[in-house]
A = this chain, B = another copy of it.
């Protein structure tokens, strides 16, 4: 953790910032170890502290031993301005994506009221960029979370039956993940069937799985905060010819991206690798989301891997590769791996059967 704080301090110096106010809770955890529902970090060249109300004092002491405990007392803006004065730092970077407009307005109103010399400088992505390149212990945890997700997919392939509801299958998977060590699920499991697979973010319903139709499972485990994210689409019974065709195109797109992504590419270029395969197969406009997204303490984080993303892929980044084809009224197919960039190439963090037939 101390080296992470040092890396942030170098960025603050480059940007002419005396201090940084961290309000994104995943960034708080990354930098300090603190895990809670509410809290800020304050980081300057000389000091770093975790600011929490009394509910989280004990947790902050235990989990963020390298940070001073800064008990918030009274109203938050007034407390912050007093602390800034005590620390002798006026120019503070803030996280524009994590701070609400209301919190910002409360702070600026307090600055005006107190005639404080504090200046707030909105920033985006300072810690998100740092977090996007993983350290070896992070990759190890992401690997374990990925292997657990792969085992859950394997289990689901065996458990899926015609007549089972989507909710039942989702719960079967969640129980498996939790009983095998996942702290929580990384996100609400998607278990969709038939036409529901046309909704990329479907919620499990009471619909019963039928033979021959797509069953799409999107799931992830979480270990020490680190997530994984995998999707498979398979079929109970004999698949329809259309499903065989759509599945093979998506699989081709996914394998193409896996094999040809190279470090130095932008997220947009990576996206294009898979999109071209789908478009050339005659399925333009059916792949309505980006190729993927970074995965770490958040299940969606940097790098962004999709149209318009100029994020450059480099070794140590962990992200998903998840092309899909969605046909309203019929269904859809998506195949997704979580990968790590290593030696300039994408390596899946776990292997799980990609075939169309359930067991």
Q: Which of B59, B101, B179, B201 contacts A37 (CB 8 A)?
A: B201
> Contacting chain B: which of A92-100, A255-263, A266-274, A349-357?
A92-100
What is the distance, in angstroms, from A95's C-beta to the closest C-beta of chain B? 8
- Is A288 among interface residues, defined by CB-CB distance under 8 A? yes
Closest 6 pairs between A and B when the two form their complex, measured CB to CB: A54-B288, A96-B102, A96-B101, A97-B102, A58-B199, A101-B104
B288 touches A55 (CB 8 A): yes
Q: Which of B37, B58, B101, B174 contacts A94 (CB 8 A)?
A: B101
- Is A175 among interface residues, defined by CB-CB distance under 8 A? yes
Q: Closest B residue to A36 by CB, please name it.
A: B201
- Is A220 among interface residues, defined by CB-CB distance under 8 A? no
A55 touches B289 (CB 8 A): yes
Bound-state Cα–Cα, A99 to B100, Å = 6
Number of chain A residues whose Cβ lies closer than 8 Å to a Cβ of chain B: 38
Q: A171-B178, A178-B171 are in contact. Are A59 and B199 (CB under 8 A)?
A: yes
- Is A198 among interface residues, defined by CB-CB distance under 8 A? yes
A97 cross-chain contacts in B, Cβ below 8 A: 100-102
**Known A100-B101, A101-B104; 19 more pairs at CB < 8 Å:** A36-B201, A54-B288, A56-B199, A58-B199, A58-B328, A59-B199, A94-B101, A96-B102, A96-B105, A97-B100, A97-B101, A100-B100, A101-B101, A101-B122, A102-B124, A105-B122, A171-B178, A174-B178, A184-B188
- Is A5 among interface residues, defined by CB-CB distance under 8 A? no
- Is A245 among interface residues, defined by CB-CB distance under 8 A? no
Bound-state Cα–Cα, A198 to B101, Å = 34
B202 touches A59 (CB 8 A): yes
Bound-state Cα–Cα, A54 to B288, Å = 6
Bound-state Cα–Cα, A100 to B96, Å = 7
Bound-state Cα–Cα, A59 to B179, Å = 31
A203 touches B328 (CB 8 A): no
Bound-state Cα–Cα, A178 to B189, Å = 13
A-B contact pairs, 8 of them (CB 8 A): A55-B199, A96-B100, A97-B102, A100-B101, A101-B101, A101-B104, A171-B178, A175-B175
What is the distance, in angstroms, from A19's C-beta to the closest C-beta of chain B? 17
A288 cross-chain contacts in B, Cβ below 8 A: 53-55
Q: Closest B residue to A37 by CB, please name it.
A: B201
- Is A35 among interface residues, defined by CB-CB distance under 8 A? yes
Give a binary string over A186-226; 1 marks a CB under 8 Å from any B CB, 0 the rest. 00100000000011111100000000000000000000000
A104 cross-chain contacts in B, Cβ below 8 A: 101
What is the distance, in angstroms, from A172's C-beta to the closest C-beta of chain B? 11
Bound-state Cα–Cα, A199 to B99, Å = 26
What is the distance, in angstroms, from A238's C-beta to the closest C-beta of chain B? 27
